[in-house]
Chain A
């Protein structure tokens, strides 16, 4: 199996999987029509007065097959965490079904914990434990006996390079280190399905690489399936086999990153960073202003390739070039896909 870790460029090898094809691996996660609306809190008066609340998940369908690294991509508030909380049995859906490895976790939410390992966004339960005890206790509570739990702890601390921090309480670590320790706890003890909600948030590149190696090893050696929540476009492009793009509670697209990018491959992204005010005397710059998404001194333009070449020629000479601090021309990313699909586009990160 080709490793998906560390691929820098766009993926070209993965084709969308066809669930009706007998060669398609069996489904590990099957979600049908999953709908969840949070009830308004704060008393009957507010409930009566306000508009009906918008569903956090709206008729979501997903099928994740064995051995996939599958991502949920979307900005904050898109409904990613709500979706995984229903998959993990933490939240009861209003409607729809969730099947994990053939088990109905809407009817039996207590079974989810015996099928999957979950890394949530909060670490409150582990905060005051040492890194070593957090991993060991979690493994024990996954049903391992003491010797097996200690072996699992040693293995995962080694994999993630956490041995030097083993005796430090989580709350005394930096944000990235603490997150790494939580990943260690989540990976201690085998599970066929790993559900990880933004596992690498706040980590440095070395720690990220260690996390992705550990996850990929579980997939390659033990056939684990991974469901990953992210709002990091670069991470989604480099590590995911397939990605479901969520916006306002709905899946607006689901394919390989490469497959999704074919939707927008006629365009390129041009970022212009100005030193100060862009020169208003150049008519072409004035025309671009209305096309650009402006973030401070940065203009982001999505243009057909030919048009982008013309713009680059314009801004790299004369008065415009003198006012230009930096520019980058890039092939489309999943963020561009997201915008092209009608997503609101705020809150995705590219780092």
Chain B
């Protein structure tokens, strides 16, 4: 079942609970897509107000890492340069979507969820709308990082269009994980901690070239959904990118994204009716 179907399913379940005659009529539920759009718009405005400085931090952090790594990695297309630039770009997504979203949902659990839980809005619309807002909020930072990195490491800029797929797909996976961590953590501080650990993992395992990692860390890297976004983007820096490989990497991202967002939706329902 896709997430959109899940949203629809939520909606029809509520409609199915329509109640027999003799009882007061129920107000309609918010329809899933308009509700998702309303949450998305509100969250994006919220992010603009409150999170712009953090986006700067995320971008400068990634650019700083690329400058540092330039000292030990040669420019020009090569597995290592590709990995550093792609990893640093996806790191911006991890910073915002995983770390900040875990913090946001962790804090929301201390009372804020009541607001959404007493509105007739499908759980998936709240989670997807928020995750999508956080992911799209990262776009400028990712683009600046990727272009700066490509120039710094003399990589071709032509493949950067793939960011249009990498940001939403890696964003879905990381935001889903971030939301789930925030909603499942017993305390807001633990949600923050989990989000930061997740981001540190994305930093270490995403930015360092996979070939240089010890075997156990390489396996851990395979478990982290952002790695597939990194690999897809890194492939685009090759002189002749393997389209099949790119699609396969993005497919994994998408699959993990669906699972992560479904997990986050389940965690949201659980938290809202605690």
Q: Within the complex, what minimum Cβ distance (angstroms) separates A77 from chain B? A: 17
Q: Which A residue's beta carbon lies closest to that of B46? A: A128
Q: Which A residue's beta carbon lies closest to that of B18? A: A111
The answer to whether A116 touches B118, judged by C-beta atoms less than 8 angstroms apart, is yes
Q: Which A residue's beta carbon lies closest to that of B111? A: A122
B3 at the interface (CB under 8 A from A): no
The answer to whether B45 touches A140, judged by C-beta atoms less than 8 angstroms apart, is no
The answer to whether A114 touches B34, judged by C-beta atoms less than 8 angstroms apart, is no
Q: Tell me whether A140 and B118 are in contact in the complex, defined as CB-CB below 8 angstroms, given that A101-B23, A128-B49, A129-B46 are known contacts.
A: no
- What is A's interface to B at a CB cutoff of 8 Å? 85, 88-92, 101-103, 108-118, 120-130, 133-134, 137-138, 140-143, 145-146, 149, 169, 185, 190-192
B39 at the interface (CB under 8 A from A): yes
Please report which residues of chain B, range 114-159, place their CB below 8 angstroms from some CB of chain A when the two chains form the complex: 114-121
Q: How far is the CA of A192 from the CA of B23 in the complex (A)?
A: 13
Q: Within the complex, what minimum Cβ distance (angstroms) separates A190 from chain B? A: 7
The residue that A143 contacts in the complex, of B29, B49, B273, with Cβ under 8 A, is B29
The answer to whether B111 touches A120, judged by C-beta atoms less than 8 angstroms apart, is yes
Q: Which B residue's beta carbon lies closest to that of A197? A: B114
The answer to whether A192 touches B45, judged by C-beta atoms less than 8 angstroms apart, is no
Q: How far is the CA of A50 from the CA of B113 in the complex (A)?
A: 31
Q: Which residues of B contact A111 (CB under 8 A)?
A: 17, 19, 26
Q: Within the complex, what minimum Cβ distance (angstroms) separates A82 from chain B? A: 13
Q: Which residues of B contact A145 (CB under 8 A)?
A: 34
Q: Within the complex, what minimum Cβ distance (angstroms) separates B31 from chain A? A: 7
Q: Which residues of A contact B117 (CB under 8 A)?
A: 89-90, 113
CB contacts between A and B, total, < 8 Å: 126
Q: Which B residue's beta carbon lies closest to that of A109? A: B273
Q: Which residues of A contact B46 (CB under 8 A)?
A: 128-129
Q: Within the complex, what minimum Cβ distance (angstroms) separates A187 from chain B? A: 13
The residue that B119 contacts in the complex, of A109, A113, A123, A149, with Cβ under 8 A, is A113
Q: How far is the CA of A117 from the CA of B118 in the complex (A)?
A: 7
Q: Which residues of A contact B31 (CB under 8 A)?
A: 143
Q: Tell me whether A90 and B118 are in contact in the complex, defined as CB-CB below 8 angstroms, given that A115-B27, A122-B110 are known contacts.
A: yes
Count contacts on B: residues with CB < 8 A to the other chain: 39
The answer to whether B273 touches A124, judged by C-beta atoms less than 8 angstroms apart, is no
Q: How far is the CA of A126 from the CA of B46 in the complex (A)?
A: 9
Q: How far is the CA of A202 from the CA of B186 in the complex (A)?
A: 30
Q: Which residues of A contact B119 (CB under 8 A)?
A: 113, 138, 141-142
Q: How far is the CA of A88 from the CA of B23 in the complex (A)?
A: 17
Q: Known A-B contacts: A123-B115, A129-B42. Give 4 more (CB < 8 A).
A: A103-B23, A124-B115, A127-B112, A169-B50
3 tightest A-B CB contacts, nearest first: A124-B112, A122-B111, A102-B23
The answer to whether B39 touches A137, judged by C-beta atoms less than 8 angstroms apart, is yes
The answer to whether A192 touches B30, judged by C-beta atoms less than 8 angstroms apart, is no
Q: Which residues of B contact A122 (CB under 8 A)?
A: 110-112, 114-115
The residue that A141 contacts in the complex, of B23, B39, B113, B272, with Cβ under 8 A, is B39
Q: How far is the CA of A252 from the CA of B274 in the complex (A)?
A: 28
The answer to whether A140 touches B111, judged by C-beta atoms less than 8 angstroms apart, is no
Q: Which residues of A contact B17 (CB under 8 A)?
A: 108, 110-111
Q: Kindly name the residue among A91, A109, A137 whose own CB sees the greatest number of chain B CB atoms within 10 A.
A: A137
Q: How far is the CA of A45 from the CA of B160 in the complex (A)?
A: 57
Q: Tell me whether A114 and B49 are in contact in the complex, defined as CB-CB below 8 angstroms, given that A90-B118, A124-B110, A129-B42 are known contacts.
A: no
The answer to whether A133 touches B273, judged by C-beta atoms less than 8 angstroms apart, is no
Q: Tell me whether A114 and B39 are in contact in the complex, defined as CB-CB below 8 angstroms, given that A124-B111, A125-B113, A130-B45 are known contacts.
A: no
The answer to whether B27 touches A141, judged by C-beta atoms less than 8 angstroms apart, is no
Q: Tell me whether A137 and B41 are in contact in the complex, defined as CB-CB below 8 angstroms, given that A111-B17, A115-B26, A143-B27 are known contacts.
A: yes
B220 at the interface (CB under 8 A from A): no
Q: How far is the CA of A192 from the CA of B28 in the complex (A)?
A: 13
Q: How far is the CA of A109 from the CA of B269 in the complex (A)?
A: 12
Contacts A/B (CB < 8 Å), 16 sampled:
A85-B114, A88-B114, A89-B118, A90-B114, A103-B19, A109-B273, A111-B19, A113-B119, A123-B115, A124-B110, A125-B112, A128-B49, A138-B119, A141-B121, A143-B27, A169-B49
Q: Within the complex, what minimum Cβ distance (angstroms) separates A304 from chain B? A: 46
Q: Which residues of A contact B121 (CB under 8 A)?
A: 113, 141
Q: Which residues of A contact B34 (CB under 8 A)?
A: 140, 145-146
The answer to whether A90 touches B27, judged by C-beta atoms less than 8 angstroms apart, is no
Q: Which A residue's beta carbon lies closest to that of B272? A: A90
Q: Kindly name the residue among B26, B42, B108 whose own CB sees the greatest number of chain A CB atoms within 10 A.
A: B42
B24 at the interface (CB under 8 A from A): yes
Q: Which B residue's beta carbon lies closest to that of A145? A: B34
The answer to whether B26 touches A103, judged by C-beta atoms less than 8 angstroms apart, is yes
Q: Which residues of B contact A141 (CB under 8 A)?
A: 30, 35, 38-39, 116, 119-121
Q: How far is the CA of A91 from the CA of B114 in the complex (A)?
A: 10
Q: Kindly name the residue among A113, A115, A185 whose own CB sees the greatest number of chain B CB atoms within 10 A.
A: A113
